[in-house]
Structure 1
Amino acid sequence: MLKDDSRKLVFLNQKASEFYGRPREELIGQDVSFFTEPEQAARQRERDIEVLITGEKTVNEETLVDPSGKRRNVLVRKSRVTLETRHFILTSIMDISLLRSSEAQIRYLARHDVLTGLPNRTALSEELSQIAAQRMYRPEPYALILLNLNDFNYINDTYGYQAGDAILCEFGQRLRNEVGSSGTVSRIGGDEFSIILRNNPTSEVANNLALEILVMMRQPFTLTRANPMMTISFGIVMFGAENITAGEIMRRGNTALLEAKQRGKNMFSFYSELLDASSVSKRIMVKALAESLAKEGDLSCVYQPILRSRDEKVVCVEALARWNHGVLGQVSPVQFIALAEETGLVIQLGEIVLRRACRDIKNFSQLNLAINVSAVQLGEPDFGPRILAVLAEENFPPSRLELELTETSVMNANATSLSHLAKLRKAGVKISLDDFGTGYSSLSLLKDISVDSVKIDRSFVQYVTEVNDTAAIVSAVSQLGNKMHLNVIAEGVENQLQKSFLVSAGCSHLQGYLFSRPVPVEVLSTLLTTEMNMSASI
């Protein structure tokens, strides 16, 4: 449309006329505006005057209501036109409602999870960045909670992805109900959620919310055919006073989450600097262990004798790994073996221990050698062939080797691993179930796989003379082993009372501090020489 220098309409097109809902003839010569709100009308009047005076074009966006009452986003362009020395204002109005709607939808999708409608990881990062940026002029406490639904793949595999999606939506709604207006709930990954707590939360507030969430998780999730129970782990980090970035806040939250997962299911953990110290220490230890595995000298073996009950003769030794690092010193087996299993270094460690033990014990022809095998080693595709290859390379008879495996590792073994055990046993290698009785399918394992020995766990042996139930279990296992023609080894024997009971209960072999602690091969040689001399003098 075109207005003269007194802002009277001199021309408008059909679209403009339709918008006004009046014929052009009635509008020409009138001072009319599309914009009926006083502020908008005043703003457009100022721009008209500005364009007439300066000749500069103006472009701005406005919102107006069309004749049907619908609000629309429009782009208003104004420019000056001179006709026969007189100035006019040319105004064009473009409807950009669809564009703005699309942009809004794109922005929404970019910051929200499509499935649950919750803010997503991008939105969480933006909010954390804003909080970190405002710390300089408005330091306030906040809490970030990172949550992870445990074993969620099981739900998808068992009930289907549609059921899994339904649980994610229900869980997100439950979290919103728990948090209310005190924070923001986001879905930041497949089975990962987050909560930012505002309104100056304290550690106590965050702790109480965590407990409420755990109570909430006791309620089964509603599905058409099932009501599955879910477990959760979450890490909590308090922040706001320190000068830290959004990335550092997330890192601390993930550190706390990892700690919670290591504690078990339905657990939560607060971030502290001690967790970082532990993580750094762990990384240092992993690097040091890898370096020690690659060279000679740091890793060694000690051996604990296993005696035959009827004559107390040493017939076998159990090889145990020891690690003495140049900087870290003597590292506890509890620490480095668990770390080796977690990182996969146990494959290399296991082979080194087997080789070392074969070399140390080979010349003690009267002794068998017991080696512990982890679930990680058992799961290796070349586990069996590799054992036999090492024995051949070290010229150690397979019939003198006994592999000790825990109930859990055997129970979780796949068909390939079980076939490896069968082939090893066919080659002469003996198989022993370690920590027997601590699992929940001990008896069925004895039926399902062929073994030569069972080791009664030290937790039973410790109280065998004090607790009737423990004594009954040991007696029952011993009797069962004898009937199945298995060696029954009691480990952790520390005193004569325990020894007497175990022998009378039918344990065929004994192991423990009562007889000897784990010792280096040189000390073992002395012990065996002394034993032989004593036997010869009888």
Structure 2
Amino acid sequence: MATGVIVVDAGGDIMLCNAAIPRLFRISSASVPIGMPFHGFLRALAPVVGWDEARTVRIIDNHRLWMTRSEPTAVRHHFDNGSVLSIVCRPLADGGAVLTYDDVTEAVVHARESRKHETRAEDSERSFRLLVKGITDYAIYMLNPDGTVANWNAGAQRAKGYTEDEIVGRHYRVFYDVADQAAGVPDRNLATALREGRFEDEGPRYRKDGTSFLAHVVIDPIFEEDGSLLGFAKITRDRTEHFHNAERIAHMARHDALTGLPNRVQFVERLDDAIGALAGAGGKVALVNIDLDGFKQINDTHGHAVGDTVLKTLAQRMTADLREGEIIGRFGGDEFVALKSYRHAGELEAFIARTQGALSESIDLQHCNLVLGASFGVANFPADADSREKLMSNADLAMYRAKAALIEKVCFYEASMDEAEREKRKLAADLWRALEHGDQFYLDYQEQRSVSGQEIIGYEALLRWRHPERGLISPVRFIPIAESCGAIVALGDWVLETACREAARRGLTRIAVNLSPLQLGNVSLIGKVRETLTRTGLAPHCLELEITETAVINDRERALHILRQIKAMGVAIAIDDFGTGFSSLETLRLFPFDRIKLDRSFTTDLEHDGKAQAFVKAILMLGASLQMAVLAEGVERETQMAFLAGAGCGEVQGFLFGRPRSLEHLTIQAESCG
């Protein structure tokens, strides 16, 4: 039977398997696909040849050991059916191995067949030589003791351009440049191989046409049985593509994939270098955090492809006029960062002005023109921080202050920001403790009334926090902190549970509960609402959930799915603070709102503000056409009430009917929910 040959690459996968292998092991050729892990092939053989798990593991471990040796390993494997295979594993210098399999059953059983065994071994060697000759990914050839080429395989011809007739008999120094040849590098490498048993190197080698490539070279001395030098086995692999891939990977590890700007890793290194360069030299380093204004709306409105184009365009503009000591980087999303090494304040001011100009220029696209701005937070070393970490933190604080400002878009760090941040952190910790104790929060309720008869038609639940040391803390202060620290979800769950329980106990016809954007962003809200209604016994139609448009723009599809599921239970949905923020008609069209709550900013001077009157009338008409009730907030005077009644507003809420109080202090006029 013919010799079975399997070639395993450095990664342990089969890269060649001849037709004899399936016949030797009595398996189908399809069960030994190219690319199959070699250990997987051995495992596939186990049930065919009768190996148990322990024996299979031992055989796999043996093969792995053979492939790591510097010399070939030859063994005979005896199968349970009496057959015997001669297995020879010849490791390749660059990893992997060539394995040959010969059926030597007859040779073992019959001593007179010994000659046949030798013949098969010779055939195996011949197969190995033929295999080496046919390999194209590696240049594998022999050198005579004097360094002349003795033979040549297809891989050598492919890598170096010489045919066998052109190169055999010539000294292998032709693969080196002139300087290396003059310095005796080729002969020195052979001497190293003789002295140390192997020479291995990676460097430039030259083809017949004079072009160079990056080569990984291994030279092993080969000896006769009597110890005399037969020559050298030389394996060369073209590593040029690998080198270029490595360069690309190294570049990707230090640069933003979209814009090509330094990423966080590289930017932080260069920031450290800039800070280190100040030692003994004077000067300052400014760190500038840059957050684009309105970028999310660009993504939502025009798509991420346009958003990517905007980011790349802005990156190119900001870096077009960079000067010494200036770096622009990107940390992800719409977050850019810059540093400026400088001595005089005017240098920093000029850099910020250039960067602002680059960000505020119009971006002309095929279907639209976009104009963005940005918020800048600036912190200086060493004036504002004594470490890189503190500098980055302070620049962040300044940037968030700039984002919150209505006019000032460049904000420099001030020590008071640290105090404000510490105060926020302390309040956040107090919030979590208050949630654990459960006795600091309570609900007040504000009446919602019909305009026509002024009867109570519902109540809005309003969260209050009585701090044990600070007293009452305004929701305007603690709600944003709860949202930033994550406590808002637990708070929202408590408000929903408490309001529903009170409404069910007192038989209220409608109780309105506010939802935060974080609550609406989690699909678990659907289950929480259903479970709360079941647990408290409140009828679904008695509950109204109020959301702002800001809460739905982050992920419209998710928010729409959640609200439709809640609406299907019979729960009403209201859009709160309408007229502020985005207030798009698209939102009213898409979402299943039952009620529009007109923001108090439009009712404050309603009697005297013509524009506010026009807006209120327009919203009332819009609500009527969409079959949505409209409730006006902030009603405090009879004159406001009179205008709203004349304009056709059906529902109102405000201090005209009393301030928010506990249910115990309010007159309950609602009918039972039944």
TM-score (norm 1): 0.68
1:196 aligns with 2:340: yes
- 1:304 paired residue among 446, 449, 454: 446
Q: How much does 1:259 deviate?
A: 2.9
In structure 2, the CA distance between the partners of 1:464 and 1:197, relative to structure 1 (3 Å rule), is: same
Task: Please name the residue that 1:474 is paired with.
Answer: 616
Taking the aligned partners of 2:459 and 2:309, their CA distance within structure 1 comes to 55
1:378 aligns with 520
Q: Could you tell me how far apart the structure 2 residues matched to 1:173 and 1:498 are? A: 57
Which residues in structure 2 correspond to 1:279-428 (within 5 Å)? 279-428=421-570
Shift, 1:503, TM fit? 1.1
Q: Secondary structure at the match of 1:428?
A: coil
Take 2:662 and 2:614, find their aligned partners in 1: how far apart are those partners?
Answer: 36
**Deviations for 1:74-112, whole angstroms, at most 9, x for unmatched residues?**
xxxxxxxxxxxxxxxxxxxxxxxxxxxxxxx9xx98998
Residues 274, 341 of structure 2: 8 Å contact kept: no
Query: Contact 1:111/1:123 (CA < 8 Å) preserved in 2?
Result: no
- Structure 1 residues 116 and 519, CA gap change in structure 2 (3 angstroms): closer
1:394-432 deviation line (CA, Å, top 9, x unaligned): 111112111112233345553343233233333221122
* Residue aligning to 2:171: none
Give the conservation status (yes or no) of the 8 Å contact 1:379–1:414. Answer: no
Kindly report which structure 2 residues correspond to 1:94-493, keeping only aligned pairs within 5 A, or say none. 115=260, 120-131=267-278, 133-134=279-280, 140-148=283-291, 151=295, 154=299, 157-159=304-306, 167-174=314-321, 176=322, 180=323, 183-187=325-329, 189=331, 192-199=336-343, 201-202=344-345, 206-207=348-349, 209-220=351-362, 229-240=371-382, 244-263=386-405, 267-438=409-580, 440-493=582-635
Unaligned runs of 5+ in 1: 1-13, 20-104, 533-538
Q: Where do residues 491-506 of structure 1 align in structure 2 (5 Å cutoff)?
A: 491-506=633-648
- In the aligned structure 1, how far is the partner of 2:418 from the partner of 2:448? 42
Q: Which digits, 9 at most, give the CA deviation of each residue in 1:167-214, with x for residues without a partner?
A: 53442223x1xxx45x43353645533222322x23x66445434432
- 1:522 corresponds to which of 627, 650, 664: 664
Determine the C-alpha separation between the residues in 1 that align with 2:440 and 2:486: 19
Q: Counterpart amino acid of 1:321?
A: L
- DSSP 3-state at the match of 1:269: strand
| Closer, same or farther: CA 165–492 of 1 in aligned 2, 3 Å | closer
Matches within 5 A, 1:29-48: none
Contact 1:170–1:221 (Cα < 8 Å) also in 2: no
- State whether residues 385 and 391 of structure 2, in contact with CA within 8 Å, keep that contact through their aligned partners in structure 1: no
**Residues 520, 207 of structure 1: alpha-carbon distance in 2 compared, 3 angstrom cutoff:** farther
Residues 1:219 and 1:289: Cα distance change in structure 2 (over 3 Å): same
**Structure 1 vs Structure 2: percent identity of aligned residues?**
27
Per the TM alignment, residue 116 of structure 1 is displaced from its structure 2 partner at its CA by 5.4
Deviation string 1:273-296 (CA, Å, 9 cap, x unpaired) is: 111111111111111112212222
Is the alpha carbon distance of 1:166 and 1:275 closer, same or farther for their aligned partners in structure 2, counting shifts above 3 Å?
same
Note closer, same or farther for the CA distance 1:265–1:197 as it changes in structure 2 (3 Å cut): farther
In structure 2, stretches of 5+ residues that fail to align are 1-177, 184-246
Check 1:258–1:456 CA distance in 2 against 1; reply closer, same or farther (3 A cut): closer
One-letter amino acid matched to 1:358: C
Residues 415 and 228 of structure 1: CA distance in aligned 2, closer, same or farther (over 3 Å): closer
- In 2 relative to 1, CA 214–337 (structure 1 residues): closer, same or farther, beyond 3 Å? same
Alpha-carbon distance in 2 for matches of 1:370, 1:117: 49
> Structure 1: how far apart are the matches of 2:543 and 2:405?
36
Contact kept, 8 Å, 1:233 with 1:265, in 2: the verdict is: no
Residues 140, 241 of structure 1: 8 Å contact kept = no
TM-superposition CA deviations, 1:350-387 (whole Å, max 9, x none): 11011111222323324410111122211211222211
The 3-state SS of whatever aligns with 2:460 is strand
For the 8 Å contact 1:436–1:442, the answer to whether it is kept is no
Residues in 2 aligned to 1:430 and 1:186: alpha-carbon distance in whole angstroms: 49
Q: In 1, Cα distance between the equivalents of 2:456 and 2:291?
A: 51
Partner Cα distance (2:506, 2:307) in 1? 58
Q: Residues 306 and 238 of structure 1: is their aligned pair in 2 closer, same or farther, counting only changes over 3 Å?
A: same
Structure 2 contact 384–394 (Cα < 8 Å) conserved? no
* Cα 1:122–1:361 shift into 2, 3 Å: same
Amino acid in the other structure paired with 2:483:
E
1:156/1:164 contact within 8 Å kept: no
1:235/1:504 CA distance change after superposition, 3 Å = same
- In 2, Cα distance between equivalents of 1:121 and 1:431: 47
Counterpart residue identity of residue 433, structure 1: I
Q: Distance in 1 between matches of 2:179 and 2:588?
A: 89
> What per-residue deviation string (whole Å, max 9, x for no partner) do you get for residues 136-183 of structure 1?
xx6555544344556499599315978855653442223x1xxx45x4
Distance in 1, matches of 2:358 and 2:665, equals 59
Provide the alpha-carbon RMSD of the alignment. 3.8
For the 8 Å contact 1:398–1:428, the answer to whether it is kept is: yes
Match of 1:512 in 2: 654
* d(CA) in 1 for partners of 2:609, 2:425: 43
Change in CA separation of 1:198 and 1:302 when aligned onto 2, cut-off 3 Å: same
CA distance, structure 1, for counterparts of residue 274 and residue 552 of structure 2: 48
Whether the aligned pair in 1 keeps the contact of 2:525 and 2:562 (CA below 8 Å) is yes
